[in-house]
Chains A and B, each alone.
Chain A
Amino acid sequence: MKIRMIAKLAAGAALIAMTAGAAKAAEQVEVLHWWTSGGEAAALNVLKENLQKQGVAWKDMPVAGGAGSAAMTALRARVTAGDPPTAVQLLGFDLRDWAQMGVAANLDDLAKKEGWDKVIPAALQNFSKFDGHWIAAPVNIHSTNWLWINKAALDKAGGKAPTNLAELITMLDAFKGQGLTALAHGGVPWQDGTLWEAVVLSTGGPDFYKKAVLDLDPAALSGDTMKKVFDTMSKLRTYFDPNFSGREWNLSTALVIEGKAGAQEMGDWSKGEWLRANKKPGTDFVCIRFPGTQGSVLFNADQFMMFDVGGDAEKAQLKMASAVEDPAFQIAFNTVKGSVPARTDVSNEKFDDCGKKGMADLAEASSKGTLMGSLAHGYAQPAAIKEAMLDVITQHLNGQLTTEAALKRLPEAVKAAK
């Protein structure tokens, strides 16, 4: 009797121990990201469910705020403490900065098995690889040189979308004549930079963009073409409304959606705002490349950088990296987010017209070598140089610097930040 009870107890204890052990051994990934808005969170859920089916638990670590700068502060603390998360949403040169610290995982085997080298654009691979080794799984490709136009306002202004800067000015004048805010813009440094880089690309073409923004050639940064760029910025400034300072990008998009403003230069994430307002591309709004930049794409891609976590956690990490590059996830995520897939072999069937155009433009630019990193979003220069250039751009746009002073200051600022 007594012995039997002891045996039962022992069996029970063993059972508990076993289940506890199993729970502990279950694979888990901890993901640091700032996709907290409704649509983004829903898109991320697709990835979460896919991993759960494979028995990998998802530990969410969302840090909202400051377009990721709050998340970076959290990441610094975790890495300094020697306990990095499994995967972290990162952009551009930040990937390199972290990889230089020697904290990146190596995804080479997986990338080889799944053939990432062939399907991910080379310009993007420059950032997903460090020292020739894969360290990150790119999620999407955004591009920044878009112009979003309210269709009703455009129809009143003649109905023809502008294809160069002169036509853009004509259209903006027509919008002004309709009593609208011609160009909706938010006066925040990164938005000023987004507009500026589109103007650089339009004024000087892709070769000039490469020379000035990617190679930081001092002559290009202070030459005649750059003078034209700054003059165009001053001109565009006259089409803003007086309340543009410090306005969030989505509020500017809302002005265009409501028909209070005519157009907005912004990355393709602003399409999400249109779709949420139940507007349709082609009938309610028109998406074109920023006038004069058709054929080139300035990109900004979200990537999950994998940190060196070692041991058991690595298996889960590789499963996650593989799931990110799964075409089904790429489609599900990017149709919601407004971006296009990070791999070029995905079917465009489920995407709307703007998405299809984005994918076609990306493939074209990638093959022509005109797929270039966006300055304002950290894919052209490291943070220190990027911010130094944005300082000059934003001060010029706000009238703190004259065009002459900006031309002098720009190469100086770049030099000082190097």
Chain B
Amino acid sequence: MTTIEPVPVVVPQRQGRSFADGLRNALPKIVLAPSFAVILLFVYGFILWTVYLSFTTSRILPVYKWGGFDAYYRLWSQPNWYVAMQNLAIFGVLYIGICIALGLAIAILMDQRIRAEGVLRPIFLYPMALSFVVTGTAWKWFLNPGLGLENTMHNLGWTSFKFDWLVNPKMAIYTVVIAGVWQASGFVMAMFLAGLRGIDGEIIKAAQIDGASSVSIYRRIIIPLLRPVFLSAFIVLAHMAIKSYDLVIALTGGGPGNATELPSTFMYSYTFTRNQMNVGSASAVMMLMGITAIIVPYLYSELRERKQ
């Protein structure tokens, strides 16, 4: 064995093309290739497959007979689909709105250099560690008029107390909002808290010297500076709202009646229990388009900012 002198910076052209160097250059690609291939097939491949299925006459099993836009006509003539879309609108707007408002409020309060922040923060954040199924089941028991809150109040003597949203078709969707907000607002708080901690203290000090009240400091300086956090929170919450399935299944099972049907539960039932796989695929495509409508402008604005 000969000792190798430290290699000079300038390497002769021939040796730079050696096998080892080539391998070193190719290594990231080789390591990434399997996961890239897997994602390409199992995510994008199956997206294309689903899109294709939505144009076929598939019922119980996938068949590849062309059916044109028939599945889409069927989809948009289903009263259930309109119920699902309406519920998604109610759930999405309230879930995203309340989570952001509540998360921001808690984050601002937490940012006042309070004592025991280290204890409070995980308490607010903890619901996020639970799965939606656990959240849904726990809230189902809590909101059930015969088991939970209403029953407890009756036992305590407040017999006129009434809270039957869970079994009331007009109000049931709001119980889904309650459970969803309970789960996610702590997480949004953490995002805002990180944003608040990242704001340069000098700006705030300067504003204070200029005599700005703390309300206007928050309104005019801090909240506008949190713009990227709002955007991230919106994106995270919006896709959770569109794909939310387990929460509804665990909490209400889509009922009473079909009062809490969402596009995701619609997709599952049409594809797997109602033997209308093409309609189910069409609804999945509609959901994908919904998510795309949110993600693409976001990516566009992000990339544009990066260029600037």
Contact = CB atoms under 8 A, between A and B. Distances in A.
- Indicate, yes or no, whether A interacts with B: yes
Interface of A: 66, 69, 72-73, 76, 79-80, 94, 97-98, 101, 187-189, 241-246, 382-384, 387, 391, 394-395, 397-400, 409, 413, 416-417
Contacts of B62: 80
A400 B80 contact: no
B71 interface: no
A80 B145 contact: no
List the 4 shortest-distance A-B pairs measured between CB atoms, nearest first: A398-B257, A243-B146, A245-B167, A245-B256
Nearest to A242: B145
A185 B167 CA distance: 14
B269 interface: yes
B292 to A, nearest CB: 27
Contacts of B274: 383-384, 387
Contacts of B257: 187, 394-395, 397-400
27 contacts: A66-B273, A69-B273, A72-B272, A72-B273, A73-B272, A76-B60, A79-B61, A97-B275, A101-B60, A187-B257, A243-B145, A243-B146, A243-B147, A243-B167, A244-B167, A245-B167, A245-B255, A245-B256, A383-B273, A394-B255, A395-B257, A398-B257, A398-B259, A399-B257, A400-B169, A413-B79, A416-B74
B146 A80 contact: no
B231 to A, nearest CB: 37
B59 interface: yes
Given A80-B62, A391-B258, A398 B169 contact: yes
B281 interface: no
A385 to B, nearest CB: 9
Given A188-B255, A383-B275, A398-B255, 7 more contacts: A69-B272, A73-B272, A97-B275, A394-B257, A394-B258, A395-B257, A400-B257
A191 to B, nearest CB: 11
B117 to A, nearest CB: 40
B155 interface: no
- Residue of B62, B77, B257, B272 with most partner-chain A CB within 10 A: B257
Interface string B22-50: 00000000000000000000000000000
Contacts of A79: 61
Contacts of B273: 66, 69, 72, 383, 387
Contacts of A245: 166-167, 252, 255-256
Given A73-B272, A242-B164, A98 B252 contact: no
Contacts, number: 83
A219 to B, nearest CB: 22
B258 A98 contact: no
B276 interface: yes
Interface residues of B, number: 30
- Dominant secondary structure of chain A at its interface with chain B: helix
A243 B168 CA distance: 10
Contacts of B255: 187-189, 245-246, 394, 398
Contacts of A246: 252-253, 255-256
- Dominant secondary structure of chain B at its interface with chain A: loop
Contacts of B78: 416
Contacts of A413: 79
Given A241-B146, A246-B253, A398-B256, A382 B167 contact: no
B244 interface: no
Interface in B210-267: 252-253, 255-259
Contacts of A188: 253, 255
Given A72-B273, A384-B274, A391 B256 contact: no
Contacts of B87: none
Contacts of A398: 169, 255-257, 259
B269 A387 contact: yes
A399 B258 CA distance: 11
A246 B145 CA distance: 13
Interface string B142-157: 0011110000000000
- Residue of A66, A69, A398, A400 with most partner-chain B CB within 10 A: A398
A417 B81 CA distance: 13
A246 B252 CA distance: 7
Contacts of A242: 145-146, 164, 167
B18 to A, nearest CB: 47
A69 B274 CA distance: 10
B85 to A, nearest CB: 16
B75 to A, nearest CB: 11
Contacts of A80: 61-62
Contacts of B252: 245-246
Contact of A97 (B60, B79, B259): B60
Contacts of B80: 391
Contact of A395 (B147, B166, B258): B258
A263 B164 CA distance: 24
